[in-house]
Structure 1
Amino acid sequence: MTTMPSFEYEALDSGGRSKKGVVNADNPRLARQELRRLSLTPVSISAPREAQGGGPGAKAPARLNPNDLVIMTRQLSVLVGAATPLEEALNAVALQTEKPGVRKRMLGVRERVLEGWRFGDALAEDKKSFPDLYRAVVAAGEQSGDLAGVLDRLATMLEKNRSMMNKAVASLIYPAALALVAAGVVTALMVGVVPKIVEQFQTFDAELPFVTRLVIGVSGFLANYGLLLLASVAVGGAVFWRAMKAPAFKMSFDAWALTIPVLGKLLRGLDGARFARTLATLFAGGAPLLDSLRGASRTVGNAHMREKLETVIGQVREGASMAASLKRAGVLPPMMTHMVAAGERAGAVPLMLDKAAAQLEEEFDTASTVALRLLEPMIIVGMGGVVMLIVVAIMLPILRLNSLASG
């Protein structure tokens, strides 16, 4: 089916006010006629979308990044919630964005909607920009007749998930940078400073102290095999990265990661919050419970947790309660299973899932902040200890020389 070209226009209404929008027509002349039929005076009309890069050999516009998707969803939820027709809301969002690629994708979705496509089906033409979970939530909202409410919940879910991931990454940046600087300082001392001082001890007839010999040995190893050690670390990292693509290895590693003190709790809380908020969004949007569980389990990054949660789907299908099934899975925080059970008794599962997600997010934020505050001084103390060891290793022979000279 051939799609009618779309033209971006700027026109004046009968009151002299400037209007911007998109009109579908076969050519610019017919586009102007359509604007005059709408009592608008054309000021400017752009080239059709195909002529701006949509031809067969042209590069497709870039996919929407997560930030663009969050902003677009929030804008749509506000506009649709204000009783704006969907095609007008899509047009407004497209014209507000400053990114040409995003604008073209939104106008493409709008064209499909104008042709009578369901919103979820129109989004399916761009699966890279709109993931399966996103389209499933939108489709559930359309079926339930509450697209505005579902878009609002979807925007909130995307914002919360994005915020959680940003906090997790931000929590690791400073300690990683601090550890890298500490390793660089210690390596520079071992390779650049210690060998020069060792030369002064070559004429020392007595046996050097153990600490001095230890530091000299480490310094010599780094000087002779430092590059080989660095290459080995790089190769080991590459092998580990490839191994993580193997399902069996990733499953074992993720299961082990959950047993690490502090880190395991953080990972469990992070994935638990994402699972709870996604499940609440899907279920409240009108999706069947089994489909909601299936979609929410896909958002869990830990392979071991995801496998356990997938067994919950089978148990719920056989008639078991969701709370009991989640408890038997044993991978989510106990607080969450208790709140789900309370929600099932009160008939308010989405509400309790939202509260559980908020609680887990707060716990993750607190725990990561505490862990970060503990990790920073540990790295500083560790670096200080190594520097002190080097200083002691240098000073002990010097003090012994002084004692022999004075004796």
Structure 2
Amino acid sequence: MIKYKYTAKNLAGKQTEGEYLAADMEELREHLRSQGYYLSEYKVLSDSSKEIRLLSSVKLKDLALFCRQFAVLFSSGVNIAEAINILALQTKNKKFKKTLSEIYEDIRKGRLLSEAMELHHDVFPEFLRSMVRVGEISGNLDLILTRMAEYYEKNNKIKNKVTSAMIYPIILLILMLGVLIMLFTFVLPIFADTLAGFGGEMPAITVILMAVSAFMQANFLYIMIALGGTITLLYLWGRKGAGRYFFDSLKLAIPVVRNVQKKVITTRFARSLGVLLYSGISMLDSIDIISSLIGNTAVEERFKLAKEEVKKGYELSVALEKVEVFSPLLIEMISVGQKTGQLDDMLLRTADFFDDEVEESINRATTLIEPIMIISLAIIVGIVILSIMLPMTEIMQSAMSGM
């Protein structure tokens, strides 16, 4: 929302000044026009869409709690405006509190909930906004919100599982980098001076590692800056566009990660489509909405082909085979659901099944990653020790032969 300072006049020439919070200039003009005034001058005082970035982000957990509590309040007879006000007062997330307060004011001015939420697309996903709109039209807003609460709760649970599974490998990676830095910048230089004092020719592996150690010691600060800069640039590049597409494609190519990624995509797709169809949204409209919910741009690109096939009249189960990501079990369950007319229920049941599959895949991936990292660290440390022991062994043998 943007805060404007304005000057306006009516047909009689009377001038008025004030401040007003609006989504854009058009909303400000409509507000003044409703009072019989016409905008003559304005100035932007603040833009909450920019300020909002400084506030804490709205997480899946926040959305799940919002939907759950809103559904309970609304089904208990509390009107929409009052329910939003209650939720705004009790939420601890600063960004969400600010957003809900603005929605409350918009509803009091006569906007529908879905219209007010549309002004905050950076907070409320398109999926949720569409579902609220359907709930308003059908009169089943409480049921829709309950379904959305379940949807976000289960998505948040899967996200937490993936995050928790990555903590230990990341700690191992940091420890591995720490050990390598310590070896090359502190341990090897000590032995380098000792070995150089004995003279003689050192093995090639020792010469190479000593050169790397000397380079790291002389340029340690620059190396850290370059490493930090590279990681930051890769992170920023990987958030959108070609960078995100590259990393999403990589997730489907790495053997250990690929299985987990496919299971996560499958359960997200099944649950999203199931909720949409359960709410009464048509298959074609559901496919349009779900194309942005998959969470992997590489798969979303392939999904466009399936979407076109469905629009041509092909069954969804046939179209999904061309994506080459979804489990054969999901495709078979969709086929059965289409034949029995219970596709929404079948998809939601399949999503619950794949929740357990995701957890099992994560545990399996973690079990594989941990020993790989430990063995890699052991190999590197072994090479460093070998580069030190080889020349020392030769020196000892030379000393023994000279006695």
SS of the residue 1:126 aligns to: coil
Distance 1:298 1:132 in 2: 9
Over 3 Å counting, the alpha-carbon distance change for 1:262 and 1:359 in structure 2 is farther
* 1:168 aligned onto 2:162: yes
Output the CA distance in 2 between the equivalents of 1:280 and 1:119: 23
* Partners of 2:71 and 2:145 within 8 A in 1: yes
Could you tell me how far 1:229 is from its partner in structure 2? Answer: 4.8
The structure-2 alpha-carbon separation of the partners of 1:351 and 1:127, relative to structure 1 and needing over 3 Å to count, comes to: same
Partner of 1:186: 180
Cα distance change of structure 1 residues 307 and 59 upon mapping to structure 2, 3 Å threshold: closer
State how 1:6-405 maps to structure 2 within 5 Å: 57=45, 60=48, 62=52, 65-66=58-59, 67-98=61-92, 102-103=96-97, 105-114=99-108, 116-224=110-218, 229-230=223-224, 232-234=226-228, 236-237=230-231, 240=234, 244=238, 247=241, 250-251=244-245, 254-405=248-399
Mapped to 2, the partners of 1:98 and 1:228 lie a distance apart of 42
Residues 292, 300 of structure 2: 8 Å contact kept: yes
In structure 2, how many angstroms separate the alpha carbons of the residues matched to 1:202 and 1:77? 75
> Kindly, what percent of the aligned residue pairs are identical?
27
User: How far apart, in 1, do the equivalents of 2:366 and 2:97 lie?
Assistant: 40
Deviations 1:196-252 (A, max 9, x none): 212222243543344433432432343345555555545554664565477456545
Q: Report the 3-state secondary structure (helix = DSSP H, G, I; strand = E; otherwise coil) of the residue aligned with 2:295.
A: coil
TM-score (norm 2): 0.77
Report the secondary structure of 1:393's partner residue. helix
Report the CA distance shift for 1:403/1:361 in structure 2 as closer, same or farther (over 3 A). Answer: same
Q: Which runs of 5+ in 2 are unaligned?
A: 1-43
Give, in whole Å, the separation in 1 of the partners of 2:309 and 2:173: 46
AA paired with 2:112? R
Change (3 A) 1:325 1:382: same
Secondary structure of residue in 2 paired with 1:403: helix
Partner Cα distance (1:402, 1:324) in 2: 73
Q: Structure 1 residues 397 and 153, CA, compared in 2 at 3 Å: closer, same or farther?
A: same
Q: Where does residue 51 of structure 1 map in the other structure?
A: none
- CA gap of 1:147–1:185, structure 2 versus 1, over 3 A, is same
Root mean square deviation of aligned Cα: 3.0
Residue 375 of structure 1: how far off its partner (Å): 1.9
In structure 1, C-alpha distance between the alignment counterparts of 2:212 and 2:100, rounded to whole Å = 60
Change (3 A) 1:253 1:374: closer
1:136 CA displacement: 0.2
Which consecutive unaligned segments of at least 5 residues does structure 1 have? 1-55
Shift of 1:128: 2.4
Give the count of matched residue pairs. 353
**Which amino acid counterpart does residue 168 of structure 2 have in structure 1?**
Y
Amino acid in the other structure paired with 2:385: V
User: Residues 68 and 240 (structure 1 numbering): CA distance in 2 closer, same or farther, change over 3 Å?
Assistant: closer
Question: Aligned in 2, Cα 1:337/1:244: closer, same or farther, shift over 3 Å?
Answer: same
Q: Given residue 291 of structure 2, which amino acid in structure 1 is its aligned partner?
A: S
SS at match of 1:299: coil
Are residues 228 and 103 of structure 1, via their aligned partners in 2, closer, same or farther at CA, if it must alter by over 3 Å? closer
Map Cα deviations across residues 7-29 of structure 1 (whole Å, 9 max, x no partner).
xxxxxxxxxxxxxxxxxxxxxxx
Counterpart CA distance in 2 for 1:69 and 1:395 is 59
Give the deviation of 1:351 after TM superposition.
1.5
Out of 244-253 and 69-78, give the one that drifted further: 244-253
Distance 1:100 1:228 in 2: 39
1: CA distance, partners of 2:63 / 2:152: 8
Moved more, 93-102 or 332-341: 93-102
Q: Secondary structure at the match of 2:294?
A: coil
Letter in 2 for 1:268: K
From the superposition, tell whether residues 404 and 167 of structure 1 become closer, same or farther in structure 2 (CA, over 3 Å). Answer: same
What is the alpha-carbon distance in structure 2 between the residues aligned to residue 104 and residue 193 of structure 1?
A: 54
- Residue in 1 that maps onto 2:32: none
In 2, Cα distance between the equivalents of 1:246 and 1:80? Answer: 37
Aligned partner of residue 202 in structure 1, secondary structure: helix
Summarize deviations over 1:337-364 as a string: whole Å, max 9, x none: 1111121112111122112222333222
